[in-house]
Structure 1
């Protein structure tokens, strides 16, 4: 057995070797793992490595061993799990840097280059995940983004996977109890950390340029201090990532320092410290919603907020020719346009109006006038500025579903040039992440029969993140990424609007977030091997067995604090201590304190980010940057013309909404498990089984509060944790078997029999748990199990020509069950029955708000009390409670459960992914590497919140027919008065129509429907050839050429609707409340072709080995838009920007 063989060979000799050795009575030396370092097989002396480290043994682009199957270095051919290992050679040949580069080429995975991470909420706001978080804009088997680990330690992903930091990458598709029993069932990607070299000094420098003005340089230096004993390694990287749309760009820096100490052959200590930081802004991938084209189609009407009209209000609409449109209620023309388009609202949002120009100059004014000395009185309600409506219904005359009411994304380049203008130029983010990885490996027993070793590890992440991402994420109560026209002819002071007819991007109450994180993981692993195969008696049939036992302790702390741009200084009408940025205070510890209350809406802002001049009404440039500072705040009496221009400070103010409390999390995970792998029947049968048990202890932060200035988070208080822990636990399993039916055939048999020795069949099943959720109940008051994922893989592998050609066919089925976070509006529907309670029971919540006065448990309680008072009865709290339950047609037990745990009521979804995966790795010579994979995939939503539908079926008719015994009116249509404000709130009917039905209509349509953007078929092929294999020409032999072809079939971007009830008798519209799973709306198929060429030479008297590479990614792409979502009529409404071909130049120097 040669010294460079895989570490897996030490745990289990290659098929056929061990049995032959045993029969001949040969004596093996003690188990000692020897390998060579990546890329140095010809020059590096053998280095002894631990069973807890994966080796670099490979053939072409195929790596033969992995840690992903057993937590020990094991041969991939002995594992039934769907595991692929990506070598650094493949990454370097094709210029791969990160997770998305890798996923673009691997089977069953999608990177950001082909996967569009987009979601749309019920308000039509689009979330651009490819821009906001490209590290998670990827997907495995159509289910979701994978868990990310570093050296099999769970990570937050804030330090992205980077080529500089690793010696290889392992991808596990589907759930994996052994590595990631807790987490996403889609799969796991593990980075194999780079380590110092113990026997040779190495230096590597690289420079990379690309066609988007991107620049990257890196330096990697490894030094041997004591040969074979002590070495250090330092790495540095700077990367300016450019984008086609400007202005944009991110600057990332990485510093990594490593020490490796091996005082004896049985003791190895590794420690690494890394610092990563990144800042800047990215370019949008999704086009903004188009509010300009519908405005043009509707007549290009404009608005004068000061013009009197025939009604008692002010404001008049004008047509495109400047003629006043007659009518008594011109505000209706603006908001409804005769039923054609509710694009604008003129009732005012209450927030101040902030007009931001390209150069950063700002016009700032109150949303309405006032007849008092209080700029925030807003009492002149007759004068209203027109702005883009929060829920713009742009085209309701078409046959519609819920989704077709969404604004259509811009897809006219004359309106917005997506090749050059970055809509998200106003966004920014800054993030730092410090990591420490320390490991100590000690071998105790090392003989041909037995092997025992222990590995101790510690991994820490300490990170801070700040971001203002207006365009990336959809936000409740915000209109982001919506392109509109400023149609206001006048300002409130009577002057002409300087921004009249200019295009702008609408943003309501922009948000800045701070997200610190501190994660610690402590891990102990033990490996034991018992090998009988070298015995000469009957015991040799007992085979080889290796056991891994492990224990993990994780303590993860995450926090979130929000801020809003607000008016922050003091004025006679805005005294010190007044809250400025708080938009909601439901979770505040002391909500009655002045500084903890909801801020006056005027302190916050609705922003108009202008993006062009008034000519042509099209986008000319990117939005400007909002810079804190002192500006004139315009307010006053619109009727009299007494307008003030008062200096005021625009700054960041703390927002209690979304800060602290349940947004802060302390999670301790205690997990333990074991993995057994047994090699039986002369290695013809390999069985792997694992089990792990995890317990998660979790607590939230204390309810937050502000400091008395009303501007600053009280971090000394907010960083505390509540006293009580919540416990969740679960057990996961993994089982697999590999059978080599012809392993008994002698290696010297005829060729037509010998090839059969290389055939193996496999089966694997595994599951995963998500214990990050608190124990929850459904709307029926029943406990909900933990979210789980299950996976099955089975197929065969064929290995030919001394492992130069390896083919694997896999059939898989993955299910996700009890998945929380359903799109169904569970919390909103529960408000019909449960909100405020008033039974003199201090254990129950009391949090009614002004608008939710219809909640039955409160209203029925009032009925019972007043009826008892009229009858002269005195009722106990229990008697009141039981009568309320009877009125509500619920059992007392169910009502009490829903009241006590109403914040933990949810419903669940179920998903399915299934298909086939084929992989081929072929290295016909040492000069040519070929890699091919293909897949047939299906991913769909099986059920969407079935308990929600059952709840509506049970309760809706009851709600609609319930009679108020005190008034004789229907409860469903009654507006009940809030006791605190004396004002009537919403009716239950309006709450259902506005806040429940739209979300539910959207959610239930997805049931049984394939997931968006899933291609049924994908094919990926890549190849690289060194010309030295076919020529001795002095120049050509130094050249390598390669490329790839990636094809995916048409993607599903939606489904056509089913006409269940015919046209509406009043409007004539066809309302699609259900989608047809048999009639998908297809997007485009995609073919991507890449080319690369490299040249190797020696420089500086052969002291420096240089490699120059030139690559073209997506060589035949000129740039375009691709539809990624369509409504139930087949009409696309979300568009992705596909950038043109990308040129890359890479220069690498090793010395």
Structure 2
């Protein structure tokens, strides 16, 4: 089925519906609305439009073309106007409920038509901050023409405040760049709301709405004339308490709005008049919004039986066994040193001579991390509890451990490294099992699709452990003065806005998942162990087999504070050569000309902050005793992880299906208490002769190591160590006091991990010329603008020079402030022009249809503050270019119109979210740089060369490479030397600008190497969208209104990464893959330890490879065809008089959700089969409404209307991404059927 055929079914259905609706009432010719009495008329200035000029779903004029009131048919660029009647009929009150119906637009959130989360491995809803966070402000999660989000504007001033219909007259949508409106702005266009203004007619309106899931919404709108024809005020209020299908999700919106209009009578003389307008809004939103994607599935693989195929560490084909509900002992999971049976299930290779580097037959690729646990306390909660049942440390540190000389060496060799486990997400599993094409990062995390495991349709995974807020106030004042009957005039406007938002979230990034606890015991076992297994005698885990959600409170907590201040002077002069009856062929040819000039100054300041929700105090940090370089307060060893168990143990079940896990019922926040952990203080006397004396250097048999040689099975006896490594000589496991700082108890600044101040100013000069030749037969518009954009920026993080030992930021105004001088300046000239030919003017009255042709070309830019690339080089401004070509057909009576538009929009140099772990670009050089120093200089503590071990053992893999299979000790030493030399060669080859930008110092061997992301570091990409837009509007009778639109869109991504980043990564990957540098060992030098190449691929390389494969592919979730239709019929006589009935249909064609990978002719590369994409299904959604209007009294009109949206839709999932084999990976939840019942009183 091709695209044209695909829209045939809904078109036919709508046509049938329209015919049926029309047949219920009398078809009559349209009537011209009666004009109100003179004392009620508002004569608009050229700087404003009014809802009064609307007829049904069609508007006649707009400001969106050239900032003056202009006929829509004279505008060459793509502008659509959404009338108040349309908003009322479909029940739309914001972007979330409107943009599903409009031309070429998409919106996320619970009722949206796309997820808007990209197509990476993880569909991350937690967002980042600012206005882009999906939970905080879902109205900003939009996309136009398949490119990017549009700018939201309010009376043509850019705004951060999400609009709400209680004070909106109409919505103007400009698709594509338009430098006349905004030289600086999104290339996708703008969504502008026109605020309700005070008018010269008394009116009152009260609405009350009740809807699905217990939602309520009430509004008040009062207009009063204080001086007839001269002074009026308006007051509006909103209370909207929206509930959602997912309990306990909600959004509570409260707002107040006021407007004033004054037209001084004493200034109305000689064709001149003055209009002063002002409006003010204050409001707040409190919410815990629903999720649009199901949880990540980190539970069902535990029940898998049988076997599956993969490859081992040497790339040999391997058959792995399913987990089949197996449970594990944490002390054994990381054991790649002893060779004991069924040990090291989380280690792909052995790491001890003589088998170092050989595949571990007990490796289990399905095992992953236990939430975000990295050494810190775990706070265990039940789903129904708000107090933790206990605190435990699974992964203790031994930072007071001694060496044989009695000095602290931060280790206790007799204690195995241990870490709890759960199920790995599917993308990690694919890497660990080495599934085909795993190295290209094209596997995705899998969504949970079985709602009987956890009913994600009706339950919010977070429960109440997430919340968002918005607070705002805004005002605008304008003074318009015109002369000579509006032929000359100016408007001075001042706009100011203060907006704050923020969120707290327990679950973020890859932890938006359901896990299962598969740890048999806690980590407090002893060397004696059980049944011949050391440390297997830990306290039995009472929660083994229980599902849980978990995170450490470090992600998803952020705030954004923005202030906008805008001043604008707009002036115009118009001359009509035919004015005063002077009509001849010359004057008609010259027509009417309007010159418009604008001077503007826009200023925005922002303050973005991110923090962790809780962290331990200094006393506990000193107990843990991390080296200073690692002792930041957000280190995993200092930060508790919340673990909320959901329901009973599933260990006796054969499947998670049917478990019906409950959601968390309470806010579960760790608090001060005691934690069970290992105390690594020496517990013996160091004075010879004392009764408790133990010599740290005395011999001790470490029974943990296998007594047999793995090569031939011969007995080798116990491993002889020293008493310094004997756990029995230390205090050991005990309850330790732990005090926590909590962000929401006055410590938010103290727990801030990153803060960024920005300021941007844009000074604009705009000139626009519009000419209407030959009785408006030809309309030309040309605009040029010059913008000077300046930006300032200051950021801090835990590694900033002003931060203290533990990384706490100094947010005092003497440090956390912007410089006086700007950081960047952009001088940009942009142009826009259009031509419209109304052909009917040339052919007279012979044609019943008016025909107009359109052509428009425009550009714009975005003043992105201080963006830099990987070398710290300033990145040019993001920009957009748009070309529109179209034809408009209209009937002479204006009842029918049909417009076809062909467009091409380019989005260049835009900030991209294509790489998620950009921090590792710097960290890769830090980790590797520190370890190459350790190996070369035998550094014992930190990276301090003065602390080197004077006589390290050649087999100590802290300082040396371990022997790989078949290697002698000399071979291993030679391999280490080759790696060190290769790394020094790479380090010398790096552009020095990289080290300067990332603040990496390779020349100080007295401290660890560190890095800090460059201020404003950004990854860029380009995209281009081409297609067609179709818009049809009709008013067949005064009772029947109809609108339809359709789009055909092709949008692709190119130049992902930008030139310098691409060059750096290509050079680095060449060094890793073609020289010994890639074999640099990280975290000790055993032959089975992770390498620099592994770490790179795990954090950046595989994702970058995927993004490069996506060059030239469709934008995520792109639908080639979209079609929307809305129709309403009002009955004005007969038995159905007073009723209205309406229907809407929204159709979306099938969706490209992935591509099959195919081998490349170039070794180490792959391609996508672009000709045969994987597709998801098409969608059709129906909306219906039924209303009734009548007079209750002579002065009171009552209307009631029932709207049903997404009729007949049940619990459904829509695929968003696929695995390489075409099986769906990530899904979004299809918006459910909802209803609202709205009562309106007008009096």
Task: Please indicate the TM-score interval, normalised by the length of the shorter structure.
Answer: 0.7 to 0.9
Separation in 1 of the partners of 2:83 and 2:589?
36
Q: 1:175-186, aligned counterparts within 5 Å? A: 175-186=177-188
Q: Is the 8 Å Cα contact of residues 136 and 469 (structure 2) preserved in structure 1?
A: no
Aligned match for 1:1038, one of 1133, 1138, 1147 = 1138
Confirm whether residue 527 of structure 1 aligns to residue 575 of structure 2.
no
2:471 alignment partner, one of 422, 432, 442 = 432
Query: Partners in 1 of 2:386 and 2:1166 — Cα distance?
Result: 45
State whether residues 64 and 172 of structure 2, in contact with CA within 8 Å, keep that contact through their aligned partners in structure 1.
yes
Task: Please name the residue that 1:104 is paired with.
Answer: 100
2:643 matched to 1:546? no
1:405 alignment partner, SS class: coil
Summarize the Cα distance change of 1:854–1:181 in structure 2 as closer, same or farther, 3 Å threshold: farther
Residue 687 of structure 1: CA displacement?
0.2
TM-superposed CA distance for 1:77, in Å, is 0.4
Q: Equivalent residue for 1:271?
A: 278
In structure 1, the residue matched to 2:1237 is 1145
- 1:481-492 matches, within 5 Å, as 481-492=512-523
**Per-residue deviation, 1:633:** 2.8
Kept in 2: contact 1:1093–1:1109 (CA 8 A): yes
Q: 1:452 to 1:228 in 2, by over 3 A?
A: same
Offset of 1:40 from its aligned partner?
Answer: 8.7
- Other-structure match for 2:771: 678
* Residue 768 to residue 1085, structure 1, CA distance change in 2 (3 Å): same
Distance in 2 separating the partners of 1:147 and 1:1023 = 29
- Which residue pairs with 1:257 in the alignment? 258
Give the match for residue 621 of structure 1.
662
2-structure distance, mates of 1:38, 1:502: 68
Contact 2:597 2:768 in 1 (8 A): yes
Structure 1 residues 64-115: Cα deviation after superposition (integer angstroms, max 9, x where no partner): 1000001001000001111001110111112111113221111111233212
Residues 962-1001 of structure 1: matches in 2 within 5 Å? 970-974=1076-1080, 988-1001=1092-1105
Q: Please give the TM-score of this superposition, normalised by the length of structure 2.
A: 0.75
Q: Describe the SS at the equivalent of 1:393.
A: helix
- Summarize the alignment of residues 321-400 of structure 1 with structure 2, pairs less than 5 Å apart: 326-332=341-347, 338=362, 340-345=364-369, 349-358=374-383, 359-362=385-388, 363-369=390-396, 380-387=415-422, 393-395=428-430, 396=433, 398-400=435-437
SS of equivalent to 1:119:
coil
Alignment of 1:450-529 (within 5 A): 451-471=487-507, 474=509, 479-492=510-523, 494-511=538-555, 512-529=557-574
How far apart are 1:371 and its partner, in Å?
Answer: 6.9
Q: Aligned ranges for residues 715-794 of structure 1 at < 5 Å?
A: 715-717=812-814, 719-726=816-823, 727-746=825-844, 749=845, 753-756=846-849, 758-774=850-866, 776=868, 785-794=876-885
- Give the equivalent residue in structure 1 for 2:1112: 1008
1:418 aligns with 2:456: yes
SS in structure 2 of the partner of residue 1145 of structure 1: strand
Give a deviation string over 1:783-833, Cα, whole Å, max 9, x none. 754322111111111110410001111111111222333635896797599
**Structure 1 residues 414 and 691: CA distance shift in structure 2, 3 A:** same
Where does 1:6-21 land on structure 2 (aligned, <5 Å)?
A: none
Q: Residue 783 of structure 2 aligns with which residue?
A: 690
Q: Does the CA contact (< 8 Å) of 2:332 and 2:344 recur in 1?
A: no
Query: Aligned residues, how many?
Result: 1015
Report if the CA contact (8 A) 1:854-1:988 is conserved. no
Cα separation, partners in 2 of 1:338 and 1:523, compared to 1, 3 Å: farther
CA distance in 1, matches of 2:300, 2:262: 67
- Are the counterparts in 1 of residues 834 and 855 from structure 2 also a CA contact under 8 Å? yes
CA distance 1:977–1:371, change in 2 (3 Å): closer
Give the stretch that moved more between structures: 800-809 or 103-112.
103-112
In structure 1, C-alpha distance between the alignment counterparts of 2:1188 and 2:363, rounded to whole Å: 66
Match for residue 282 of structure 1 among 264, 270, 289 = 289
Q: CA RMSD in A?
A: 4.2
The whole-number CA distance in structure 1 between the counterparts of 2:761 and 2:334 is: 67
Q: After superposition, where does 1:136-175 map in structure 2 within 5 Å?
A: 136-156=140-160, 159-175=161-177
State how 1:553-568 maps to structure 2 within 5 Å: 553-568=601-616
Q: How does 1:160-239 map to 2 (within 5 A)?
A: 160-198=162-200, 200-239=201-240
Greater RCO structure (CA 8 Å; 6+ sep) = 2
For 2:810 and 2:922, locate their aligned partners in 1 and report how far apart those are by CA, in whole Å: 30
2:759 to 657, 660, 666: 666
> Which residue number in structure 2 is paired with residue 922 of structure 1?
1034
Q: 1:387 to 1:799 in 2, by over 3 A?
A: same
Deviation at 1:348, TM superposition (A): 6.3
Q: CA deviation at 1:944?
A: 2.5
Cα deviations by residue, 1:686-714 (Å, 9 ceiling, x for unpaired): 00111111111111126465689987863
Alignment match, 2:676? 634
In 1, Cα distance between equivalents of 2:202 and 2:422 = 65
| Residue of structure 2 in register with 1:409 after alignment | 447
- 1:609 and 2:644 matched: yes
**Cα displacement (A) at 1:566:** 2.5
Q: Distance between the aligned counterparts of 1:173 and 1:1021, measured in 2?
A: 19
Query: 50-59 or 760-769: which moved more?
Result: 50-59
Instruction: From the superposition, tell whether residues 95 and 907 of structure 1 become closer, same or farther in structure 2 (CA, over 3 Å).
Output: closer
Alpha-carbon spacing, 1:1010–1:190, altered in 2? closer, same or farther (3 Å): same
Aligned to 2:690: none
Q: 1:517 to 1:391 in 2, by over 3 A?
A: farther
Provide the C-alpha distance between the structure 2 equivalents of 1:438 and 1:1094, rounded to a whole number of angstroms. Answer: 38
Note closer, same or farther for the CA distance 1:481–1:145 as it changes in structure 2 (3 Å cut).
same
Q: Secondary structure at the match of 2:293?
A: coil
State the shift of 1:919 in Å: 0.7
* Higher mean displacement: 45-54 or 1081-1090: 45-54
Aligned mates of 2:1203, 2:987 — CA distance in 1? 73
Gaps of 5+ in 1: 1-36, 317-325, 584-590, 837-846, 857-861, 863-883, 963-969, 979-983, 1065-1070
Q: Distance in 1 between matches of 2:333 and 2:855?
A: 77
For 1:789 and 1:855, locate their aligned partners in 2 and report how far apart those are by CA, in whole Å. 50
Report the alpha carbon displacement of residue 48 of structure 1 after superposing the two structures with TM.
1.6
- 1: CA distance, partners of 2:1117 / 2:476: 38
- Residue aligning to 2:965: none
Q: Kindly indicate whether the alpha-carbon contact (under 8 Å) linking 1:82 and 1:793 is maintained by their aligned counterparts in 2.
A: yes
Does the 8 Å CA contact 1:373/1:573 hold for their aligned counterparts?
A: no
2:1151 to 1030, 1046, 1051: 1051
Sort the Cα spacing of 1:778 and 1:736 in 2 relative to 1 into closer, same or farther, 3 A.
Answer: farther
Aligned in 2, Cα 1:125/1:219: closer, same or farther, shift over 3 Å? closer
**What residue number does 1:441 align with?**
480
Is contact 2:1158-2:1168 (8 Å) kept? Answer: yes
Flag the 1:40–1:250 CA change in 2: closer, same or farther, 3 A.
Answer: farther
Secondary structure of the residue aligned to 1:92 is helix
CA contact (8 A) 2:867 2:875 kept: yes
Could you tell me how far 1:669 is from its partner in structure 2? 1.5
Looking at structure 2, the residues matched to 574 and 1150 of structure 1 have their Cα atoms a distance apart, in angstroms, of 68
Deviating more after overlay: 814-823 vs 243-252:
814-823
Cα deviation digits, residues 133-178 of structure 1 (max 9, x gap): 421222111111111110000112xx21111121111001111111
Q: Which has the higher strand share?
A: 1
Q: Tell me by how many angstroms 1:1059 deviates.
A: 2.9
1:586 alignment partner in structure 2: none
**Offset, 1:275:** 0.9
Cα gap change, 1:144/1:692 in structure 2, threshold over 3 Å: closer, same or farther?
same
| Whole-angstrom distance in 1 between the partners of 2:342 and 2:1158 | 39
d(CA) in 2 for partners of 1:570, 1:825: 32
